[in-house]
Amino acid sequence: MRHVAVAWLGRFEQLRRTKGGSGFDGPHRGRCTAALFVFALIFAPVVSNVAAVIAFSNDARAEEPAPPPKPKFTCRTPEVELRIRDLQELIKDDEQYLIPLQEDLAAAKEAWSSAEKQERALPLRDPQHYLAEVAARNAYDKLAKAQQKVNKVKAEIEAARKELFELEWLPSCKEKKTGTTAPTPRPTEQVASTFGGGLYTGVGTGMLASVCPNWTTTGVDSLHSNDKVGADNSGCYSSGFLVSAYVGYEWTFASRWLAGIEGDFGYATNKATTGVPGVSSAPGDSVSVKEDWNGGIRARVGYAVAPNTIVYGTAGLALQHISATVTCSSAAPFPCGRFGPVTAMTATNAPVLAGGTVGVGVEYAITGNLRLRGEYRFSDYPSFNATYGNPANVAVSSSIQLRTNTALLGLTYEFGASSLPAPLSPPPLITK
């Protein structure tokens, strides 16, 4: 550029001589000459250096080699084993590092919420409103930075888990050579870290079915005398629609194993009505057993058979509310087939039965957060013995033995499976 300025000075002098000196003499010539020299000496080196930096950057980018392709392993070589150990340590360290980051994120959310409330509490024309608005903006910036850190660490953990799962699924090189067992190929694009542990919730729908026998008449009393019970018929099978909600927490260990605890609450529409077993089947004499709300708390252990699929077993406590009603209102010869001056009666017992339950299920990862599950459970409850009515008139004693089959199809959302969403942006800062 300095050479360009000197050339322009030569051109300027040539024009001056061509025009005979008119218009280029005197003080004007001195000022123009000085201006061109200043440009040549000051700005030309700056422009030259900027151009050189740009050219060097372009050359560096053009000469930068492409990253080497990720090696594809077909069996567990020593290099793979070393990588597996490194990934396990990385995941463990990142999970420990994530704990204080999540605490900082929670504190930043609380600080932003407090600053936002203070800003909204002040009138817009209040002199303190601008300071509160600036404080809210600063709190939001801290929240955004804290959340970026959490999201970054979670993304690293997710990527490491995916790679770890893929490497651990490889057969040993000895099996590879001898042609023995080899796992079924799996698409690498599937979600490998979906079952990463944490809090989850979901809803399900299905069927609740009771198992025979569930009612046994143990005695009938009328006018203070115990009467003989006939053939011991049972009010048996009933089934109905079931809707359920559940929440749980799970942990992962040994890479492919998962363990957790889960609680649920549901409502069913089961109801069975028959004549009074062993007593009377006349119109007006009946036994009705209804199963409605239920719940429980269970332990759950699962194994990942594929990067996006687990099978699991579950067992624990089951609760079932039932409503059992006996009605004796037939007119021939008397209610519940009794002879004598007995009157019609209706009596109900509605206990909550507590028993045990076991089951199996399978879960499939639809996305990083959503899973589809199918589950079957068998529940067994202790006998419930009760008397319905007044022995001075007519009373029916029974024993209820309830066993149920539950089949559910559910949709689960796991809170810790992917990065947290960005918080809502606050309104733009108003400058004063």
Average of per-residue pLDDT across 266-281: 85
Same domain, 39 and 131: no
Same domain, 160 and 221: no
Same domain, 385 and 237: yes
Residue 132 sits in a domain of what CATH number?
1.10.287
pLDDT tens-digit profile of 59-99?
Answer: 545 554 555 555 667 788 888 888 888 988 898 898 889 89
Handedness of CA 289, 234, 352, 201 (dihedral sign): negative
In a domain, 79, yes or no: no
- pTM score of the predicted model: 0.55
Q: Higher-confidence residue: 77 or 330? A: 77
* Residue 34: per-residue pLDDT: 56
In a domain, 80, yes or no: no
Residue 248 sits in a domain of what CATH number?
2.40.160.20
Same domain, 244 and 372: yes
pLDDT at 207 exceeding the cut of 70: yes
Q: What percent of the chain has pLDDT over 90?
A: 27
Split into its structural domains, the chain has a count of 3
Same domain, 384 and 243: yes
In a domain, 76, yes or no: no
Last residue within a domain, chosen from 178, 212, 232: 178
* Residue 168: per-residue pLDDT: 79
Same domain, 284 and 394: yes
Same domain, 134 and 212: no
Average of per-residue pLDDT across 128-137: 88
In a domain, 189, yes or no: no
Same domain, 249 and 111: no
Burial of 63 (0-12, 13-18, 19+ CB in 10 A): exposed
Cis geometry, peptide bond prior to residue 333 (ω within 30 degrees of 0): yes
In a domain, 188, yes or no: no
Rounded to whole angstroms, how far apart are CA atoms 166 and 185? Answer: 10
pLDDT tens-digit profile of 307-324?
Answer: 789 999 999 999 999 999
Same domain, 166 and 251: no
Rounded to whole angstroms, how far apart are CA atoms 252 and 168? Answer: 15
In a domain, 229, yes or no: yes
Same domain, 111 and 12: no
Quick one: tokens of 22? 């008119």
Same domain, 143 and 287: no
In a domain, 187, yes or no: no
The average confidence (pLDDT) of the chain is 77
Rounded to whole angstroms, how far apart are CA atoms 34 and 348? Answer: 113
Q: Higher-confidence residue: 49 or 161? A: 161
Same domain, 161 and 248: no
* Structural domain span for residue 286: 198-414
pLDDT tens-digit profile of 108-127?
Answer: 999 999 988 888 888 888 88
Handedness of CA 299, 301, 307, 309 (dihedral sign): negative
pLDDT at 13 exceeding the cut of 60: no
pLDDT tens-digit profile of 221-260?
Answer: 776 666 555 545 455 567 889 999 999 999 888 778 889 9
* Residue 220: per-residue pLDDT: 79
Q: How far is CA 152 from the centre of its chain?
A: 19
In a domain, 184, yes or no: no
